[in-house]
A and B are shown apart, each in its own frame.
Chain A
Amino acid sequence: MIKKILIILFFSFNANAALEVTIAQGKVEPTPIAITQIFGADSDTARYGNTLRQIISNNLTNSGLFYTVNEDLYIQSDNLVEKVPRFEDWKLIKAQFLLSADVSKIDKGIRLRMRLYDVFNAKEIEKLQLTIPDENLIRRVGHTVSDIVYERITGETGYFDTRIVYVSEIGPLDQRVKRLAIMDQDGHIDSHQFLTDGKNMVLTPRFAPNKQLITYMEYKNNLPRVYIYNLKTGEREIVGDFPGMTFAPRFSPDSQSVVMSFSDPNNAANSEIYLMDLNTRSRSRLTNDSGIDTSPSFSPDGEKIVFNSDRGGSPQLFIMDKNGDNIKRISKGRGVYGNPVWSPRGDLIAFTKLTQGNFHIGVMDLNGNNERVIVRDFALESPAWSPNGRYLIFHRQKRSNLDGTGGEVTIHFIDITGYNERIIPTPRDGSDPAWSPLL
C-alpha cells in the first residue's frame, strides 16, 4: 500500500549543487528478512536450532512488520555467524535483513550465537552471544532474540518475551465453565497452562507490573470477590473481602495497590471505585456518585485513573486524579463506552463502544480527541495493550442462537493502525485476555 499525500518538492537547477529531492511516501508493508538455518553440530542442538528458528520467524511475521523470505530461494547456505555473508546473493532475493545463528553445547549449558545483517547497506548491525542454562528456556530465548531483532530494526521496544493470561471457556453458554489460563504471547500450546480448575467462575484477570501477581474476580462460594493469584507459589488470596461484590480490579503501576469497584450494600449496591493498599490492607474510596463507577485503569505514571461511569445517563469514559479529584468526562462520540485502558506509553486510551448495534474497539487521546475505531463487530470486548503500546489484544464473540449454537469467543491481536489482525490460538474458547509486561 502506498499512502497518498500532498508532495512538497524542492529541487535546484544550479549545476554545481546536488539535486535536492524530498521523498515523502513509502511502502507500509512487511519487510523481507532471511533467516538461515540455525546451525547445530549434533541432533540435540540441531533440534534446538529448528525450534528457535521457528519461534523467531513466527514472532517476526506475526508482528506484521516482517516476512521471512522462503528458504528455498536462499543462494548461500553457510553458517554466517563467523563468515561475512555474500550480500549480493541476499540482495538478489530481496532480503533486506539477514539473520544467522548457531547453537552448541558447552559446559554450562547451551551457547547461542547470532548475527543480524542489513543486506542493502551490507553491514552487520547486531550480534549476540548467550548461554542457555536449561533447554526448557529455549522458547524464552527464541522470544528474546526476536525482541532484539525487532528493537534493532524498528527502533521500538519488543514484546515477544511476554505472556498472556486469559479466561478459558467451555460448555453451554448458560453454564460456562471458566478457568484462568496463561500462555506465551504467541499462544503456543507448549507454553499453555491452566491456573484454576473451573470449579468457580473466574473473570477479568490482569497482570501486575511486577510480573508475579495476577488480580482477577472469582465466585468462591457464590460470593464474587477480587483475588490475587501468585504465579510463583500458585496461592490465591482474597483482596476485595468487603461486605459486597468487588470486581473490575487492576494493579497500580507500582504493583503495591489494586484499584477496583465495590458495590456496597449500605450504598444501595451502587458500584464505586476503591483503592486497596496491598501492604496495609487499608482501602480508600475514590468516587461518590449515584451512577455506576467501574473499570478503573491507572495511567503509567500512577497519577491518574480512567474509568467508566453512567453518572451522566449512559456509560461514558472519565479521567480523575489518583485520589478521586478533578473528574472530567473524556468520551465525546455517540454510543455506550466501556473498558477504558490506559496505554503503557501513556498517550492513548483504548476502549469499547457500543453503537448502531455493533461493538467497536478504538483509541482516543487523553482529552478524548482523535477517536479512532480500530475494529468493529457484533461483540468485541476487553482490549489490552502490548507492553510496547503498539498492539492490542481483545476478544470477539459470535452471535448465539436459541438452540444454543454459536457464541464462540476467541482472542485476537491487532496493530493499533488497524492492520494485521489475527487470532491467538487457544485450546478452548478464550476471553478477557491481559498482557504481561516484558519479562
Chain B
Amino acid sequence: MTISEIDLLRQQLHGCLNLNVGVANLKEIKPVIYIEVNPDRTVKSSKVVNKEKLNDPSFRTAAEAAMRAVNNPDCSPLLLPADKYEQWKEINFTFDFSWMFD
C-alpha cells in the first residue's frame, strides 16, 4: 500500500476516535486493536491485543474508546484500496494518546 492510501485510512479513523480528555496517565497508554476485515471493507472482528492491561481503569477507558473508533458506523466501510485485500485483511491499530497533552 502507498503512503497516501494509509493516510486516507488514518484520516478516516481520526474522525471516529472520540475520547474524553483528561483520563489519567494517557501518555503511557497505547492500546493496540487487531481487526479482521471483510472483502467489502467492513470490520469482521475486533479485539484488544494488549488485553493484559485491561484491569487498569485508565487503560480500559482508552482501549474501549479505540474499540469504539474501529466499530464506529462513520468508519464503515473502511477506506481501503479494493485491489490490495491481501495487504489489509488484518490490521493492527496502535492508538497513541500523547497528542492530547500538546
Task: Check whether chain A touches chain B (CB < 8 angstroms).
Answer: yes
- A residues sitting closer than 8 Å to B (CB atoms) are 2-3, 5, 7-11, 13, 15, 17-29, 31, 65-66, 91-92, 94, 96, 118, 120-121, 125, 153-156, 390, 415, 417
Contact B86 A120 (CB under 8 A): no
Take A5-B99, A19-B1, A28-B100 as given contacts and tell me if A120 and B68 are in contact as well, using a CB distance cutoff of 8 Å.
yes
Contact A21 B92 (CB under 8 A): yes
Q: How far is the CB of A8 from chain B (nearest CB, A)?
A: 8
Q: Does B27 contact A (CB under 8 A)?
A: no
Q: Which residues of B contact A156 (CB under 8 A)?
A: 22-24
Interface string of B1-37 (1 = CB under 8 A from A): 1010010011001110111111110000000001000
Q: Which residues of A contact B97 (CB under 8 A)?
A: 26
* CB contact between A155 and one of B60, B68, B72 (< 8 Å): that residue: B60
Beta-carbon nearest neighbor of B29 in chain A: A155
Beta-carbon nearest neighbor of A153 in chain B: B20
Q: Beyond A10-B94, A22-B93, A120-B68: 10 further Cβ-contacts under 8 Å?
A: A15-B87, A17-B90, A20-B92, A23-B69, A23-B93, A24-B99, A29-B18, A31-B20, A92-B73, A155-B57
* CB contact between B22 and one of A18, A27, A154 (< 8 Å): that residue: A154
* CB contact between A18 and one of B68, B91, B99, B100 (< 8 Å): that residue: B91
Q: How far is the CB of A45 from chain B (nearest CB, A)?
A: 32
* CB contact between B23 and one of A19, A26, A154 (< 8 Å): that residue: A154
A354 to B19 alpha-carbon distance, docked (Å) = 34
Contact A155 B91 (CB under 8 A): no
Q: Which residues of A contact B72 (CB under 8 A)?
A: 120
Contact B90 A19 (CB under 8 A): yes
Sampled A-B contacts (26; CB under 8 Å) = A9-B3, A11-B1, A15-B87, A17-B90, A18-B34, A19-B1, A19-B6, A19-B92, A20-B91, A21-B6, A21-B92, A21-B93, A21-B94, A22-B93, A26-B69, A27-B18, A29-B18, A31-B20, A65-B20, A96-B68, A120-B68, A120-B72, A125-B64, A153-B20, A156-B23, A417-B22
